[in-house]
Structure formats: C-alpha cells, structure tokens
Structure 1
C-alpha cells in the first residue's frame, strides 16, 4: 500500500510583507501554495498511491476565495477520477461547515469527523488490503480538550491511520488551544501511522509507531524556511510496517543568512559582499533574509540604504534562480571593550531600557493616531526589529566613545 500525507496548505495565504516586490513576482509567490498542492496531486497520481491524507488547514481562513475553493475541488476530483481514496479533515484555520465547502461527492472522498466527533472508517485498496482511518475535523477555532481520549485503541490486525490537526501539550495556560496531546498517549493507541497537521515544522515525533508532522507545503515567511512538501509512505502489508520519505514540492523556499561585518563598508562594498555571500547559498528560487551582525560599523546613510526595499531590488538583480532579498535584520556584535562586570551591567541596562514593553510605551501616542501603527506595535517581530535597531544605534555611539578612550 502507498500513501501521501500532507497538511497545512493554507490556500489563500496573503504572504504579508512582500507587497514591495514587482507585481508579477508577488502574484507568482501568492500562487505558490496552489502550485505546490497541484504538484503533490500530480505525484500521487503518477505514483498510483492508494490513499491521500490531508491533515487540516487546507484553507488559510474560514472565508476561502471562490477561486481557491474551485481549485481545491478540481484537484480532489482528479484523485477521485483516478480512484485514489482521499481522506481530509478541517483544522483551526478552515473550520467550515461541510455544506459551505465545495467538495467531491464520491465514495473515494471522505471529510472525516465533520461534526468534531472522532470518526472511524474502513477502506480497501485495489489489491484488497483492508485499512482504517480515524480522526476528526474542527468546527470551532479552539479545541482545549484532549481529543486522544476519544480515539479508540487498536485491538486487531487492521492497519490503522490516525489523522489529527493538533499540538503537543505545552502545560501553559492559554497555549493548549489545539486539541493538546502527549506523544505517549498516541503511542498507547497502538496505531500503525499517525498523520498530524498544525505544526509547520516537519518532524517525526516517534519512529515506532510512526507519529509524524508533515509540515506545511509552502513556506510563507522567514520563520518557515527550507524545503517544504509532503511525506510519501509505503506499507509492508505482510507485517504492517511503514517506510516514509519526505518529498519537497514548494516552488519557492525561504532562507536566512548571517553575514558578519568587522569593519566599515561603503555602499558599493556592501552590495558586492551581500551578492557574493547570497549566491553561495542558492540552489533554487529563494526568498532571502539577511542578518547583518556588526551593523554598528555602518553609517546612518548606509543603514538607511540597506533597509530600503529599492536597495534589495538592486542586490537581487544579479542573483540566480530569480531569487530575491526581502528582509534585512541589523544586529550589533558586542565589540565594546568592557570588563566583565561593566559588560554585565551594560547588558542588563540595555535589556531594561530597550524591552518590548518600553518600546510599546514609547509608541503609545503614535499608535493612538493610526490603526496601522497600532497593529505594528502589537506585532512581536516589528518590536524585535525596533529593539535590534536601537541596540545597533546604541552600539554605534558607544563604539565611538570606546575608540576615544583606548
């Protein structure tokens, strides 16, 4: 038996923060989730798999566009037309009512546990191998209860797949909102393969039995870097063992590169350095973020230049695979010649003065005047960028003082 496990397609994802790109490239990137999804379906058909498992968050929201609904229905219908059994669940992003979804009406397609109750169903492959799938779909944004308690334990020899959109228990109030579970609980069910969605980082929680997050199928920002795709699995029908392999399908990947500066750089030198460093890391079309350490060596003009998207466009023009620099983070690298106690005091003062809480206070009046500014000051990544930039500026000033007293 052969199967595909995918999750977290997030069709209609807005790809925030990339609107500065040329319109044709931005549109291409916005379509990458569909491109990756279609490639998975192409390969499932080409490999003549028996089963496709879709572990939730196929849509990015409960208001999918008509175009993405039609796209999904067409792709699922292709599987149905090839008599490939498809089992899908809904996640915390796409918890739609079943009658709001455009889905194939066929024995070869099943929306599992559509009433948020755990459902069990059995199928047979064309070679008459019996297997079952057990799982549930979301019908609300948050599920704080441990749904594993509702999964029936396997007590026979029928090969059993678990299918769930959920997160491991954090044991912190307010964080266990997505059907929280312990890996040990899943192991105790004695299932043969447990297909998980929700966490976008691909990972195998257990080898025996296999408990697997396939990750999302297309990275959408720098924190979702590296190859994205699905898991292809083969079942040994004689002894019910599973072999899986990851198959990348994302047409565009994200990558963060760290570059160290140890001396002042002119704008021309900075461009050449970035282009040289970035080229070494490219093997396919990539959206790149650069962390510049030692940014206190840059002048104010150079810092303004390197943070300007127009400069990123200039740097990107000579990169292979149509890759683009889309973000620059500025960091200092602690070049001050302070003794250990002074360094400790400086770090403590810096942490206190430049804390996210203090930055929010400083931005309070601005945030009152504009909703967009208010949203920025509620964005943790934006606050971290301000913190880093302020630290770099402080490093510039203290570096000058440090040089004078040496």
Structure 2
C-alpha cells in the first residue's frame, strides 16, 4: 500500500464576527480579528501545498451562517481552485451552520472539489492510475439534522485507506443541541480507518482504532475557545499506521490570563520561568520578602498583570499576529475593593490596554473578571455577633449544605427562568451557583465594612 498524506480541517466559520468585543478596540486590531478566518484558510491552503498533500477534507461549518456571505463562498472557491491547480482534491461536507441549502448555486466549484450531498457517497483519490484512498462523506441538508448519519456509512472491499467525513455530535457533548448524533461505536462499526469529524471547536482524539478525530476550528471565535487553533495533518504509512500532527493556523489567539493579587513568593515566580532557585537560605529570604504580602498598590498590580500577559504571549505559535485577553483576578488582598469599584476597574482596564498594546504579538485586553476576596481575617469575621457575621455565616452554610444550595437555587429561579433573562444568563450549574453565593458574601463584607 502506498503511503498517503492528507489534511483534515473543520469549522472554518469563514467571515464569522467575533462577539463580546467593545467598540473601543483599535481599528487595526479589529480588522485583523475580522479577517482572521480568511487568513487561517490561506494558511490551510499553503500547508497542503507545502506538504504536497494527497487531499484535503473539510468536515463542515465552512461558513459561519446559513446564508453564508458571498465573500466567504468566493474565498472558499478560490482556495479550492489553488489546490485544484496543484492536483490536490478537496472533499467538503456541510454542517449545521452551512447546510446544503445555504450554498449559492451560481458559484461553480473546481472540478477537483467534491461537495457531499444528502446521502453518503464514496469518491476515490487516484495517483498514477492507482486508487490510494477512498473518501466517504455526507452533508447536512438543513440546519437541524437530528438523524444518526453515521449508520449510513460502510466500508467497501477495497484495501486502501478509507476516510469518513462527518459533521456530528458524539455522545452528549452538546447537551440538548445535538446535531447528527452518534457514538464512537457507531463510527467503529463501519470499518473505516479514519473519521474526519467536525462540530467541536477544540481538538479531540476520541478513538485510536479507528482513529476518530475532531481537529478543532481553524480559528478560535471567542474567549471560550482559548489557545492555538488549526488543523490535523494525517500521515498513513505503507502498513496502515497513522501519525497525526497538529498544525496551528489561526492568527488570533484568545486567552484567559489569571492574576493573583495575594502573596506571590519570588521563588515561585523564578521557578515558573525556568530559572534555578536561590542557593542559600539568606538569598532565599531576600528573594521571598519582596512578595511576602498581598499587592497593595496599583503599580504593583499593573507590573504583575503585564508580566502574566507577557508569559501568555510567549506561549503563542510563531504565526500568531494578535491576542485577545480576558484578565481573571483572583486571591485575597487589599486591592479587592479597588477592583470591585466600576470606575476604578474601568480606569485600570484602560491603563493595562496601553501597557500591552505593543507586545509581540500585540495584545488587546477585552475585559476583566474579578474573583478576588478582601484582605481580612475571615474566621474572625464569621465569629462576629452582628449583621455582617450573620450574613457571612449564612453564605458559608449555604455553600456547605445541600439544603442551602437548594434554597439559593429556589431564590434565583424566578430570574433564571425569566423568558428574557435566561437568554443572557449562563446555565445555573453548581459552580455558577457557588460563585454567586461567594460573591454575595464578599459584596456584603465590602459594603458593611466600607469606610
């Protein structure tokens, strides 16, 4: 059997608009963000050409909307034309964001591009008169495909590698919003060698035999899709062995950066950067003393935050041209009150944006989350015989008691079940409920102890 190389990508979401970003983002950065999905597509084509791939598979959601923009569809056609000119066929399965009904019929794809239809079809990849692989695939006919499409696939008698292309939900990954739902067992029972899946935007390898892979999206679309995004380069050797290589493509990296406002020994900071610890107890004491107390001033907070962003930026791949940052402040310290005052927090955000704008890659701080706590002796507060002590004890007991959590959930039910509010609020799971109770206690502490 001849060795083959192919590229598996999915969820390009061409022309997607990134949500949750304010109008105060610099225009140059905003344009870089808006063009990111198209840059990732160009890099995908370049990878296929550089690796002399035998074929490319795109496993759904190539476009971001059912009425995919003309710009997006022309970009895809032109990308396929570049690969067609190099003799690299492209196999496209449409998903829930871009079902077959969304395509502009007047756009003609190159002859080397296969767009799968509503039923499974099988197409050979031929080199020098030899079929080196078979690619099976199916597209979603509509935006709400609820059938198990995996059960329609079946291996042929051919001995070459056989690849399935499907946009689907495995198990309960989407909760109630499941598209073409199936199981790994459904996929394995078909006898195919590799499953090129789409729909989940973070990379996952769900099975080794057969290989069942979500490559993730080519470009992260929001802060919930952190880190590098790209595609999977697949090499199949003459014995049928499969080796996967993850290749980053997305030019914009989304990242939550955590900053602790509490004590942070210099020893720990040095070790985290790969430098050896100090050699003598005297040196260690001197190094640690600089951080043996919580941050107490804005300058120190800015310095620590910029350092954390710099470390996050250093982890980005070489092709990253910008980072969108969410700052998450944690820990206990006197700056808790400042961070919780809206005006001060807004000023701090503006200051930090200016401090990191010229980093490499350029960074934009989109927002901040504050999960800090006051710098107080909480045990002493809980023992107080006043309104604050009673409030804090109630919050603590609620967190530690199933009945208390249930009572808090009941109290919040009217808000979370309101027809308008529930569209904007996250699901009220246990972690969210616990965070709300803890934040309520912190807010009471701040208000009742304010000067």
Q: What TM-score, normalized by structure 2, do the two folds share?
A: 0.76
**Residue 288 of structure 2 is aligned to residue 288 of structure 1:** no
Counterpart Cα distance in 2 of 1:362 and 1:212: 36
> Which residue number in structure 2 is paired with residue 397 of structure 1?
444
- C-alpha displacement of 1:97: 2.6
SS in 2 for 1:247: strand
- In structure 2, do the counterparts of structure 1 residues 307 and 354 end up closer, same or farther at CA, with 3 Å as the change threshold? farther
> Which residue number in structure 1 is paired with residue 113 of structure 2?
109
- C-alpha displacement of 1:195: 0.3
> Which residue number in structure 1 is paired with residue 284 of structure 2?
none
State which drifts further: 353-362 or 94-103: 353-362
> Which residue number in structure 2 is paired with residue 91 of structure 1?
95
> Which residue number in structure 2 is paired with residue 39 of structure 1?
43
Q: Is the 8 A contact 2:77 2:109 kept in 1?
A: no
SS in 1 for 2:423: coil
Q: Is the 8 A contact 2:168 2:198 kept in 1?
A: yes
Q: Is the 8 A contact 1:73 1:102 kept in 2?
A: no
SS in 2 for 1:314: helix
**Residue 28 of structure 2 is aligned to residue 11 of structure 1:** no
Counterpart Cα distance in 2 of 1:203 and 1:363: 33
**Residue 103 of structure 2 is aligned to residue 82 of structure 1:** no
Q: Deviations over 1:265-290 (max 9, x none)?
A: 43333222211222122124322112
Gaps of 5+ in 1: 368-373
**Residue 223 of structure 2 is aligned to residue 222 of structure 1:** yes
Counterpart Cα distance in 2 of 1:390 and 1:311: 31
SS in 1 for 2:219: coil
Q: What TM-score, normalized by structure 1, do the two folds share?
A: 0.84
- In structure 2, do the counterparts of structure 1 residues 125 and 244 end up closer, same or farther at CA, with 3 Å as the change threshold? farther
SS in 2 for 1:185: helix
- C-alpha displacement of 1:148: 1.6
> Which residue number in structure 1 is paired with residue 354 of structure 2?
314
**Would you identify which runs of 4 or more consecutive aligned residues in structure 1 move more than 4 Å?**
101-104, 338-344, 348-357, 381-391, 399-404
- In structure 2, do the counterparts of structure 1 residues 95 and 359 end up closer, same or farther at CA, with 3 Å as the change threshold? same
> Which residue number in structure 2 is paired with residue 254 of structure 1?
254
Q: CA RMSD in A?
A: 3.5
- In structure 2, do the counterparts of structure 1 residues 158 and 31 end up closer, same or farther at CA, with 3 Å as the change threshold? same
Counterpart Cα distance in 2 of 1:331 and 1:351: 20
- C-alpha displacement of 1:301: 6.8
Aligned residue-pair number: 391
Higher gyration radius (CA):
2
SS in 2 for 1:5: strand
- In structure 2, do the counterparts of structure 1 residues 275 and 194 end up closer, same or farther at CA, with 3 Å as the change threshold? same
Q: Is the 8 A contact 2:192 2:210 kept in 1?
A: yes
